[in-house]
Amino acid sequence: MIKVTVDDIEVEVEPGSTVLQACETAGKEIPRFCYHERLSIAGNCRMCLVEVGKSPKPVASCAMPVSNGQVIKTNTDMVKKAREGVMEFLLINHPLDCPICDQGGECDLQDQAFNYGGGRSRFELNKRSVNQKYMGPLIKTHMNRCIHCTRCVRFSEEVAGIAEIGAINRGENMEISTFLEKTVESELSGNVIDLCPVGALTSKPYSYEARPWELNKVETIDVMDAVGSNIRVDSKGWEVKRVLPRINEEINEEWISDKTRYACDGLLNNRIDTPYIKNKGKYQAVSWNEAIKFINQNSKNKKNFGGLIGQLVDLETSYAFKELFKKLYNSELVDFRQKDILFDTSDEYNFIFNTSINKIDQCDFILLIGCNPRLEATIVNYRIRKAVNNGCNVYSIGDPGEQNYNYKIIGNNISVLDDLIHEKISESIVLKEAINPAIIIGESALQSNISNYVISSVKYLLKKINKLNGFNILHQSASNVGSLKLGLQTKNLNNIYDAELLYLCNSDEISINKKENQFIIYQGSHGGENSKIADVILPSSSYVEKNGSFINLEGRVQKSYKASYPPGSAKDDWEIFLSIAESNNIDLGFKDFDELRNKMVSEFPSLGKYDKVPDINFNNLIVGDHKKKDFQLIVNPVDYYQTNIIARSSKTMNDCKNIKIRNKKIEA
């Protein structure tokens, strides 16, 4: 450890630390624009000037390494005067348009100008003018405000892994731009808006919607994928205006995907706000009592009952749905799968991401099997890229498509696993020598006819080298792990599709072919394709309009919180189940949300352990049969911007999709 003195306070810091980090350790706030702890050091804004030792002039604390015995001053007259001079230079070409800037109230430049800005500028020449740059439907540019901090450039290269944003020209004439001014296509592009310390890059969909002090802010979690990114939902009245990331070092650090950030406008579109029943081929709006009466009348003579859970369903809803089917319909035909895949539920280990998200970047060997992490779990893919930057080699069985790091396809047939087991290929030696290997299995490799073979083979491979914690399932949907924990996987999905009464709870990802005399109940927040074939439609709350809990892909239980209100007469899903049960004099064992959660936790105690990765006993795992199979593995395509009903209802996501299609046509 290195000892330094900051404003007469002695502190110890790690070797290689910067003066700025030493100052922060001592509790001193240092202004900065270009410096960011997750990006490389640029040292070009000079706002972080401090006085160091016997140096005749102030030094940039972000770029200066500490040395033993160093004496640092952060509040001298020289430091204050130097920072005021830097601020005056930064404001020379700034338009000073705070009243109309979307960054107002959240602007680093605004805050620092309050502390170090002068009353007037001594610069009398005309301000420079920079043309706005086109960066697609997500990022709005006001390049006259740019102070050349280059955070966006460094993020694009170092974190997003796609060098889409760069600088042209030099000095005062320097401009930040995309190459050939094309659309930014990284799935993490929206994070440059948070990084921008001024209003040069702002959110295009959020433009002029609200001021930050007008918004109600609720900390919750994301459900656009299975990662469980920590987010903050900002709403005005009942309308969600924007979604921002929250720092969680174990999951998403401080980044979120574009779909997480921008799909929120889909919450307003295509909503179901009142119950409907089909009468003579046409839907008519009815009261809740009429809708429930209609359901009871049409379910009396039905002999078998099936239910499907959708992608965005919380634990409490899934549990209540299961209880409804068990007690009212005397049926266990409830499933969450939207396609023909099969999970091994004999042990929790078999269906979670055991390496854990925050340890992926420490891996030295990664094997992808039937997955496209860039589109299926963007934050996990970011972690993989970090591992690659640290020297990790990435291999794949099946073509994962375009990634933002180098990888090697070792085969497209699932039989390659047998070659790895018997050390017939060179990659088996690399795996054997790996200290922290991770094998990531996607849903494309979990088709029912090969699922058991893939899972058993991977477990056998990892057991040989005593690295069973490297077994990972990459789920695509937020509700998957929770549904598996609740036991919502049936032996045969066809039994559900053929049920005389089919209850679709937020299930929009699979096309249902309605059978003759089949009665279909559709319950959901948005009108999807399946709502068009339903006999009765029940409006429910979306994930931001109710309290609940989800389990992310690594088995971590997280709470989600109500940030808005459902439209019209829509209700929480569990309330609907309760009303149906009570109309049939059936007691589900709960009367409110707290009772529901307590009942669920009493039956499944692990669901009450929040924000913890489950402890797995690797010694008791059964490998299973791994007899060689031949199967050509094709990674199922993922339409990133259309993965769920909210994203499909989002104008922003549809714009992104259309622009991507257009760009591909131009490139072709």
* Rounded-to-10 torsion of CA 351, 357, 359, 361: 120
Q: Is 281 exposed, middle or buried (0-12, 13-18, 19+ CB in 10 A)?
A: exposed
Structure tokens of 515?
A: 């059978």
CA quadruple 266, 269, 274, 279: dihedral, nearest 10? -120
**CA 139 to each of CA 134, 192, 199, 222, 291: distance values in angstroms, whole numbers, following the listed order:** 8, 9, 11, 21, 44
Amino acid at 114: F
Ordered strands of the 59-60 beta sheet? 9-13, 2-6, 71-73, 49-52, 59-60
CB 329 within 8 A of CB 521: no
* Residues 21-47: tens digit of each pLDDT: 999 999 999 999 999 999 999 999 999
Residue with tokens 């390659």: 416
Average per-residue pLDDT in the chain?
93
Q: In b/e form, how buried is each residue of 127-137, taking b as 16+ CB within 10 angstroms?
A: eeebeebbbbb
Based on the number of CB atoms within 10 Å of its own CB, is 432 exposed (0-12), middle (13-18) or buried (19 or more)? middle
**Residue 668: pLDDT band with limits 50, 70, 90:** low
List the one residue out of 323, 347, 327, 336 whose CA is nearest residue 600. 323
| CA gap 351, 344 in Å, rounded | 7
Cα–Cα distance, 70 to 496 (Å, whole number): 71
Helices (H) and strands (E) in the chain, counts: 19, 26
pLDDT number for residue 628: 87
What is the tens place of the pLDDT at every residue in 371-423? 999 999 999 999 999 999 999 999 999 999 999 999 999 999 999 999 999 99
Segment 152-166 shows an average pLDDT of 92
Task: Measure the CA angle with vertex 158, ends 152 and 164; round to 5°.
Answer: 55
Cβ contact 5:20 at 8 Å: no
The pair phi, psi for residue 379, each rounded to 5°, is -70, -40
In our burial notation (b when 16+ CB lie closer than 10 A, e otherwise), range 497-509 reads bebbbbbbbbbbb
Find residue 473's DSSP bridge partners: 441
Query: Tell me: the pLDDT tens digits for 449-496?
Result: 999 999 999 999 999 999 999 999 999 999 999 999 999 999 889 899
In the prediction, which pLDDT does 338 show? 84
- Residue 143 neighbours by CB distance under 10 Å: 16
Share of the chain above pLDDT 70, in %: 100
Instruction: List, in sequence order, every residue forming a beta bridge with 365; answer none if it has no partner.
Output: 393, 437
Closest C-alpha among 508, 570, 500, 501 to residue 542: 570
Radius of gyration of the chain (CA): 28
665 — pLDDT class (breaks 50, 70, 90): confident
- In this predicted structure, what is the pLDDT of residue 280? 86
Which residues lie below 8 Å from residue 617, measured CB to CB, with a gap of 6+? none
Q: What are the tokens at 397?
A: 């069985």
CA distance 595 to 543: 19
DSSP per residue, 48-89: TEEEETT-SS-EETTTPBP-TT-EEESSSHHHHHHHHHHHHH
How does residue 653 score in pLDDT terms, banded at 50, 70 and 90?
A: very high
pLDDT(350) > 80 = yes
Which distant-in-sequence residues (6+ apart) come within 8 Å of 397 by Cβ? 367, 368, 369, 370, 409, 410, 411, 412, 413, 414, 416, 417, 445, 633
Q: Where are the beta strands (DSSP E) in 329-470?
A: 334-335, 365-369, 393-397, 408-411, 437-442
Q: What percent of the chain has pLDDT over 90?
A: 84
Tens-digit pLDDT profile for residues 557-604:
999 999 999 999 999 999 999 999 999 999 999 999 999 999 999 999
Amino acid identity, position 612? K
Residue type at 330 in one-letter notation: N
pLDDT in tens, 67-111: 999 999 999 999 999 999 999 999 998 998 999 999 999 999 999
CA distance 358 to 345: 24
**645-667 mean pLDDT:** 89
With a CB cutoff of 8 Å and minimum separation 6, the contacts of 601 are 607, 608
Reported as half-sphere exposure (CB side, CA atoms, 13 A), residue 2 has a value of 19
CB-based burial label for 624 (10 Å; 0-12, 13-18, 19+) = middle
Give yes or no for residue 613 having a pLDDT over 90: yes
Separation between Cα atoms, residue 386 and residue 250, nearest integer Å: 14
The closest alpha carbon to 138, from 107, 170, 160, belongs to 160
Residue appearing with tokens 């998200």: 357
What mean pLDDT is predicted for residues 419-429? 93
Tokens 């000892």 -> residue? 3
* CA 237 to chain CA centroid, nearest Å: 25
